[in-house]
A and B are shown apart, each in its own frame.
Chain A
Amino acid sequence: MAEIIYNISAIIALAGMIIALYRMVKGPSIADKAIALDVMTIISISLIVYIAAISQKIIYTDVALVYALISFIGVIAIARYLERGL
Chain B
Amino acid sequence: MVKRIIILLVIVFFAIIIFPLLKVDPTDSLSSLATKYIRDGADELGSANLVTSIVVTYRGLDTLGEVAVLFIATAGVGFLLRKKKNSSANKRRKSSEILSSGTSFLVPIIFLFGVYIFTHGHLTPGGGFQGGVVIASGVLLLMLSDVSLKFNHFLLSAIESFSGFFYIIIGILGLFLAGGFLDNRIFSLGTFGNIFSAGAIPIIYSLLGIKVGSELVGILGNLRDSE
Contacts and interface: CB of A to CB of B under 8 A. Distances in A.
A81 B47 CA distance: 43
Contacts of A70: 133-134, 137
A69 B117 contact: no
Contacts of B125: 59-60, 62-63
B110 A69 contact: yes
Interface in A32-56: none
Interface of A: 59-60, 62-63, 65-66, 69-70, 73, 76-77, 80, 83-86
Nearest to A69: B110
Interface residues of B, number: 21
Given A66-B130, A85-B95, 16 more contacts: A59-B124, A62-B124, A62-B126, A63-B125, A65-B113, A69-B110, A70-B133, A70-B137, A73-B141, A76-B144, A77-B140, A84-B92, A84-B93, A85-B92, A85-B144, A86-B144
A20 B147 CA distance: 32
Main secondary structure on A side of the interface with B:
helix
Given A77-B144, A86-B144, A69 B95 contact: no
22 contacts: A59-B123, A59-B124, A59-B125, A62-B117, A62-B124, A62-B125, A62-B126, A63-B125, A65-B113, A69-B134, A69-B137, A70-B134, A70-B137, A73-B140, A73-B141, A76-B144, A77-B140, A84-B92, A84-B93, A85-B92, A85-B94, A86-B224
Nearest to A61: B124
Contacts of A80: 95, 144
Contacts of B147: 85
B8 interface: no
Nearest to A80: B144
Nearest to A83: B93
B144 A73 contact: yes
Closest 6 CB pairs of A and B: A85-B93, A59-B124, A85-B92, A83-B93, A80-B144, A73-B137
Contacts of B110: 69
